[in-house]
Amino acid sequence: MKYAFDKKVDRSKNHSAKWSEMDKHYISNDLIPLWVADMDFEVAPEIYEAMREKLEQRIFGYVYRPDSYYESACEWTKRRYGYGINPKTLIHSPGVIPSISLIIRLLQRKRIKY
């Protein structure tokens, strides 16, 4: 699938912190905003379609992650890196920082005593 990563997207009217709040953090709005991991291209059509289908359901309750969620991550890892992971050993995390926090807390529990 080919994506339009070089298509220019005007983000001036969508409350983009990356582009509209730079002068609140720095001396000018005339900088290259490398301070935030924010993309300036449209989401892939497959992602947009999946989100549209969820929106059409008109309900946003808590959901569980089916086994296929974890299995797909394991299959991707196998294809990409050539090694297998047991899907039962995976947990979901909402982001990198919560994951780092969890790792630190787990390592603190297993502190090696000298």
- List, as one string, the DSSP characters of 45-91: HHHHHHHHHHHHHT-----PPPHHHHHHHHHHHHHHHS----GGG--
Distance, in Å, from the CA atom of 47 to the CA atom of 39, rounded to the nearest integer, reads 15
- Model confidence pLDDT, tens digit, residues 26-59: 888 788 888 777 888 888 889 999 999 999 999 9
- Which band of pLDDT confidence, cut at 50, 70 and 90, is reported for residue 114? very low
Q: Please tell me the pTM assigned to this model.
A: 0.57
Q: What tens digit of pLDDT does each residue of 11-26 get?
A: 878 888 888 888 888 8
What are the extents of the domains in the chain? 1-58, 64-114
Query: What pLDDT, on a 0 to 100 scale, did the predictor assign at position 1?
Result: 63
Above 70 in pLDDT, residue 112?
no
CB 4 within 8 A of CB 41: yes
* Dihedral over alpha carbons 13, 19, 23, 29 (to 10 degrees): -100
